[in-house]
Amino acid sequence: MSGTDILALAACGLVAIGLYGVVAQAEVLRKIIAFNLLGAGVFLLFGVVARRGAAAGLAADPVPQAMVITGLVVAFAATALALVLTLRLHQITGAATVAEDPPSGAAPDPASEP
Amino acid sequence: MTAGLLFDLMMALAVLGTAAWTLAARTQFAAVIGFVATGLLLSLVWVRLGAVDVALTEAAIGAGATGVIILYVVARLRGGTAEISAATPSRAQRALAALLAVAVGGVLALAVLNLPDPAPSLAEAALAGSAPLGLGNPVSAVLMAHRGLDTLLESVVLVFAVLAVWSMAADHRWGGAPGPVFRREESGPLSLLARVLPPVGIVVGIYIAWVGADAPGGKFQGGTILAAMWILPWIAGLARPPSITDWRLRLMIAAGPLTFLCVGLAGFAVADGFLSYPPSFAKPLILLIEAAMTLSVAAALACLIAGPPERRLPPESMAADRR
């Protein structure tokens, strides 16, 4: 087993950990963090594919690398949007989760929205 | 070789360990720290995979900028423990989720370990295509020429993300400066850093963007550093971000995609079509796009980090902005 194979398994593990976090955690913020871990695992799989495609004197295939750089920036933009939505949800309803039945304690806070 | 193998194994375990810890962390703050640590370890893994350009992007955007915006939300989000525990899936549901995660991870691992050998590669094609462009960094050549459309669309995504974040502002706050207002720090480490670091950081950011043509680096990595150099004096209260209705800020954010689009359309007239460059004039055009994109990436990232406007400007300064 080569070093790249070990890192490939790490990427699969990262996807699994992220997927578990997205499904099993209640807070939206933690779901966003877990989703980013899942994304990092997918990007790492691209890195493994790039490394396996090393040729022509290059350490890794540049095409998957360029796709990952594009993906990282788009993932950041999507995360920023998700976080702002989370914050706005919290400001309007006081909720930190997207449970179907909002708890009675989380009444809308009129002070936060004058 | 064995030392390298051992290092890879350690890195893999460290990444998985910090990722698991991120999920298990009790407080949200600890979870964010775990996430940033995972990102920084991942950038080392990227170096091991021979992808230094990606390592720089991962450290700057994946760990750094993402960590900052999550931390910023953690500081303002106060979820009730009762609400969270009520919404948390039951033990059986979590066991099912774990089963699903292990199954997906296992199938992925099986697929990755059984990839064809030797692997297909576009390295030679990319290298052959980048020499006529005058670019020494094949990753930049792919980003700017071979897959130029991806990069163009991505730059537009950044503009749309800024628009979406701004549109989250309450109506009466529209026209204010993005983000909260920080108290001015006259002394202390933050104030010192915010005064001393930007001159150095701006040079480093521009250098990394410039050197991307021939070495690892580029507009996204350099632009992120420039954005950080804008954010730092803002957090220290030394500088105020411009109002979101300021046309100069809007122009900065849109300059990159607009330049890219104009050069792309010019390709119809002077080269083979959309987003193709005339062979004798490719490098200057690419550098022009890279320069405009660096500015736009820096402005867009800074606005995404700052968030929607939270306080309306006083009327007199709004009047001054309108002029």
**C-alpha angle with apex A91: A88 to A93, nearest 5 degrees?**
100
Q: What crossing angle do the helices spanning A28-52 and B28-48 adopt, rounded to 10°?
A: 10
Determine whether domain A3-112 maps to CATH 3.40.1080.10: no
Average pLDDT over residues B139-158: 85
Give me the total of CB pairs closer than 8 Å, taking one residue from chain A and one from chain B.
Answer: 309
Average pLDDT over residues B219-225: 90
Question: Does pLDDT of B109 surpass 70?
Answer: yes
Q: Greater confidence, B99 or B138?
A: B99
Cβ burial of B68 (10 Å; 0-12, 13-18, 19+) is middle
Question: Does pLDDT of B116 surpass 90?
Answer: no
Q: pLDDT band for position B235 (50/70/90)?
A: confident
Instruction: Collect all residues of chain A within an 8 Å Cβ-Cβ radius of residue B35.
Output: 33, 36-37
Residue B318: predicted pLDDT? 47
Domain residue ranges of chain B, discontinuous segments joined by +: 1-77, 125-323
Check A65 against B54: CB less than 8 A apart.
Answer: yes
Q: pLDDT band for position B159 (50/70/90)?
A: very high
Q: pLDDT band for position A114 (50/70/90)?
A: very low
Q: pLDDT band for position A76 (50/70/90)?
A: very high
Check A61 against B123: CB less than 8 A apart.
Answer: yes
Domain residue ranges of chain A, discontinuous segments joined by +: 3-112
Which chain A residue shows the shortest CA-CA distance from B160?
A: A77
Check B23 against A34: CB less than 8 A apart.
Answer: yes
Q: pLDDT band for position B46 (50/70/90)?
A: very high
Distance CA A63, CA A72 (A): 14
Instruction: Collect all residues of chain A within an 8 Å Cβ-Cβ radius of residue B76.
Output: 87, 90
Q: Cβ distance B321 to B174 under 8 Å?
A: no
Instruction: Collect all residues of chain B within an 8 Å Cβ-Cβ radius of residue A85.
Output: 168
Question: Does pLDDT of B10 surpass 80?
Answer: yes
A107 in reach of chain B (CB within 8 A): no
Which of A:26-55 have CB within 8 Å of B?
Answer: 26-27, 29-30, 32-34, 36-37, 40, 43-45, 47-55
B180 min Cα distance to partner chain A (Å)? 13
Residue B314: predicted pLDDT? 53
Check A5 against B113: CB less than 8 A apart.
Answer: yes
3-class DSSP assignment, residue B177: strand
Q: Cβ distance B148 to B290 under 8 Å?
A: no
Question: Does pLDDT of A112 surpass 60?
Answer: no
Which chain A residue shows the shortest CA-CA distance from B41?
A: A40
A46 min Cα distance to partner chain B (Å)? 10
Residue B192: predicted pLDDT? 87
Instruction: Collect all residues of chain A within an 8 Å Cβ-Cβ radius of residue B22.
Output: 21, 33-34, 37
Question: Does pLDDT of A45 surpass 50?
Answer: yes
Check A24 against B94: CB less than 8 A apart.
Answer: yes
Residue A113: predicted pLDDT? 41
Average pLDDT over residues B206-233: 87
Residue B312: predicted pLDDT? 62
Question: Does pLDDT of B8 surpass 60?
Answer: yes
ipTM of the complex model: 0.87
A80 in reach of chain B (CB within 8 A): yes
Q: pLDDT band for position A101 (50/70/90)?
A: low
Q: Give tens-digit pLDDT for B263-294.
A: 888 888 877 778 788 777 778 888 888 899 99
Of residues B212, B215, B222, the one with CA closest to residue B287: B212
Instruction: Collect all residues of chain A within an 8 Å Cβ-Cβ radius of residue B104.
Output: 15-16, 19
B109 min Cα distance to partner chain A (Å)? 6
Cα B50 to Cα B24, B72, B128: the distances in Å are 31, 33, 19
Of A15-19, B104-108, B156-160, B171-175, the least confident: B171-175
Q: Give tens-digit pLDDT for B62-95.
A: 888 899 899 888 888 776 777 777 777 888 888 9
Identify the bridge partners of residue B177 per DSSP, sorted by sequence position: B311
